[in-house]
Structure 1
């Protein structure tokens, strides 16, 4: 119940863990650093997966599956890639009771094993593009873990595409990061900033990395999705060449892109409160709970509740009735608020007599009387749409109120404790590293969205917040998960 949840103001980190466990989203595993995703949590992932999978397929992508185990010789072919991932890798040295002739890496990401296949599949420009996505699990040996946000094993999707030209690959990178932005904002009701990572923060083995960054309620940023332009790096590592339409040989151009179950963590921290989980209706597998107040003619109240649920389902609204008698209505109200059910309908004998019911919103806790007639499904649908939009508007307002522009380093150090900070940067890795060392803040993104660039005059030249040297543009700093 909600009284087992630490308040956000007292201890935000403990609030998050308490909520995840109390709402039965996930739990710790006996395997170090791993988690058990419980049905309530997995239902959210299924909704996310279904929406994203549809969006991917609408843009011409198809699903495939590649091996979990990757030969060491593959991993080491791309030098920057192995340097970035080696410390996080789990390695299999024995199988079938014998030492393996070659070590196998448990998939930290799949670029190398996939490009070994692409080399076999691609001979001509006619074989391109390849637009493949994979839904899978990966393992990265994390030292400090937190449910959903950072675990040694997690679920994700990873797209891997092959193209004939740099321009086609660039278009793919931007197309997919735009899809992630659309998903985050339209389904998760979570505003994000889309843009490019600095060279220090980009994916190991990429020429460029694009990302979406969201702001959580504690003022920290969370990277919610990435899309990488891999250039010809992996094609060269695996000698993947193709005959162009002009008859010459060239290396294939590549991208990769992905989001993971950390999106569930982002969803929790973007919207939830001290009562428990708050879910956007589009990602709630159960959008409406109907709670009959069992007094008087209990059978008649339950019958009416079931009729409401049936009517809502016919209109595409997932609804269910909790007519159990072992817990009081008040207990049920608190429990379903904890679980984040977007809308609760209360129905008692008096309500039925007056041909109405009470609808309680999870986002605002406001209650409204609704008529028990043919208009009910449409009224409920409208409320759910309003909840979805309100969650986005509320999160956007929070981000706006916690985004500040500074020109003084002392002011910067204070501001970065509370959200996004916009400031000039001289473009050097040295300055970037010094700021991170002194404040633990990093450059989250170099925005690419025209409206964001215009709002904060991101391309306006000035002087670096740290070094005082000339800076061509502003960037977005924050502490991050």
Structure 2
């Protein structure tokens, strides 16, 4: 197998290569669309399984709405429409027909739709159109729904997982009887995303609120979690939006409250996408391939036999015993006894795929009653009695999970910096990046000027930092609180 480009030589090239060589995804031939390969989809499946359980434990139910949205419904909430219409794909006709003059298919002009349909960029419009039928009384609330599906937004510049025209995602949509309850819901979801990111993906995050000019279109407030990648750039991991009554008013979704009066419902929406896979790669992986936290890894253990002197039966027997004992512990383990590949080739393959632990069984292991354990996170080799692996391996997996998080946490902490002087700010952004806490005067114009000069944007206003009076790093005007700047993906 070919080696990867080193991160410090060309980070972008390294990122693309690691995805292709680890068999997560490949280009489809259609700009902005990718093919997610079985290993990549198994990683997304693992994320879905964990997050789906977390959402259901808090009372959310899964549902599915159509991919196509009537343009009249999509156009209802004006702020929402204004932004998302720029990246919409539209269905205008229902069929093709054969061209009489050439051997090709053309759009059948007689099949023009009575109303054009939008391929969903997000589902608020069709869902709130439906909520008008479903919500009549306070007894119908709260309505806590979640959808797993896909969406489509035309993108000018695309990159595997991080920014694709079509992406897989989860989008939640809830309706509530009070403003307080809806805000609590939005923050609850943000905390679920935070727990998922830190406890399962081993990615430390910063919770915050998007500045007003970057909030989700049609919302009152957008909560977010931001993470720092290895190159010092930020990645938005997830968002949770308090919609206020904007969509309920646009679609006339009223309910009779406890006092018998009519009022508009309060809403939230929130989501994560296959962008999580990009964040996972850029947070942990190295110049030899993926590094996957055990809780997320589709395969936690790979067992590789090293056959010698035709000792196939005894090696296979030991491997099968280990395999079965680990499966009893609900560990995701695979035995690769393919004879068409050498052990060295397999070692390289599974290092590239980021399997947390590799177990090798050969002559020395049989003679000593031990197996070689290789840790992907540290490249450390240890030897353990094979008969006791079902007790030692779970502890080792937990240690690896903690170590991967610890490494990402310390890297993030080193790149969190306060800055009060614009020249220092620019130097930090251009050399090492990171989260830079600095004062901002609150105007969109200042934010744009800083972005133009440095490529840094305001990632969020920290949710739990104490307010601190100061002067805007750019304009010198008064500021009540530091915000977080960073270059980003």
Shorter-normalised TM range:
over 0.9
- Aligned residue in 2 for 1:279: 292
1:178 and 2:191 matched? yes
> Are 1:106 and 1:139, in contact at CA under 8 Å, matched by a contact in 2?
yes
- With 411-420 and 112-121 compared, the bigger mean Cα shift is at 411-420
Give the structure-2-normalised TM-score.
Answer: 0.95
What is the aligned counterpart of 1:398 among 389, 396, 411? Answer: 411
Residues in 2 aligned to 1:194 and 1:299: alpha-carbon distance in whole angstroms: 54
Q: Which deviates further from its counterpart, 291-300 or 383-392?
A: 291-300
Alpha carbons 1:135, 1:158 under 8 Å: kept: yes
Q: 1:125 corresponds to which residue?
A: 138
Aligned to 2:337: 323
- Compute the displacement of 1:427 (Å): 1.6
Aligned residues: CA RMSD: 1.0
| Count of aligned residue pairs for this structure pair | 472
The 5 Å alignment of 1:145-164 reads: 145-164=158-177
- For the pair 1:207 / 2:215, whether they are aligned, the reply is no
The alignment partner of 1:283 has SS state of coil
- What's the offset of the Cα at 1:350? 2.1
Render the CA deviation track for 1:172-223: whole Å, top value 9, x for unaligned: 0000000000000001000000111101111011100000001001111000
Equivalent residues of 2:300, 2:357 under 8 A apart: yes
Which residue number in structure 2 is paired with residue 423 of structure 1? 438
Task: Quote the offset at 1:397 in angstroms.
Answer: 0.5
2:262 corresponds in structure 1 to: 249
Partner of 2:244: 231
Q: Is this contact kept in 2: 1:4–1:22, CA < 8 A? A: no
Q: Are 1:333 and 2:341 counterparts?
A: no
5+ residue gaps, structure 2, are 96-107
Which residue in 1 is equivalent to 2:401?
388
In 2: Cα distance, 1:378 partner to 1:428 partner: 58
The aligned residue for residue 458 of structure 2 is: 443
2:76 corresponds to: 77
1:313 aligns with 2:315: no
Cα deviation digits, residues 424-445 of structure 1 (max 9, x gap): 1122222112111221111111
Which residue in 1 is equivalent to 2:203? 190
Query: 1:327 Cα deviation (Å)?
Result: 2.1
**Structure-2 residue corresponding to 1:290:** 303
Aligned match of 1:24: 23
TM-score, normalised with respect to structure 1: 0.97
Question: Matched residue of 2:482: which SS?
Answer: strand
Aligned to 2:41: 42
Q: Contact 1:4–1:18 (CA<8 Å) still a contact in 2?
A: no
SS at match of 2:346: helix
Say whether residues 1:113 and 2:126 are aligned partners: yes
Checking the alignment, whether the CA contact within 8 Å between 2:3 and 2:288 is kept in structure 1 is no
Q: Could you tell me how far 1:351 is from its partner in structure 2?
A: 1.2
Shift of 1:281: 0.5
Instruction: State the distance in 2 between where 1:253 and 1:209 align.
Output: 15
Please name the residue that 2:98 is paired with.
none
Query: In the alignment, which residue of structure 2 is the partner of 1:61?
Result: 60
Aligned counterparts of 2:114 and 2:452: Cα–Cα separation in 1: 42
The yes-or-no answer on 1:461 pairing with 2:469 is yes
Deviation at 1:349, TM superposition (A): 2.0
Deviations 1:380-430 (A, max 9, x none): 111110110011000001101112111110111111232111111122222
User: Equivalent residue for 2:486?
Assistant: 478
Task: Name the CA distance, whole Å, in 2 between partners of 1:463 and 1:206.
Answer: 29
**Residue in structure 1 matching 2:356, options 342, 350, 354:** 342
Between 95-104 and 48-57, the greater mean CA deviation after superposition? 95-104
* Deviation of the 1:248 alpha carbon: 1.1
Q: Displacement, 1:53?
A: 0.5
Q: Deviation string for 1:304-323 (max 9, x for gaps)?
A: 11211111111111111112
Cα distance in structure 2, aligned partners of 1:125 and 1:298: 68
State how far apart, in whole Å, the 1-side matches of 2:463 and 2:383 are: 45
User: Does the aligned pair in 2 maintain the 1:24–1:40 contact within 8 Å?
Assistant: yes
Offset, 1:22: 0.3
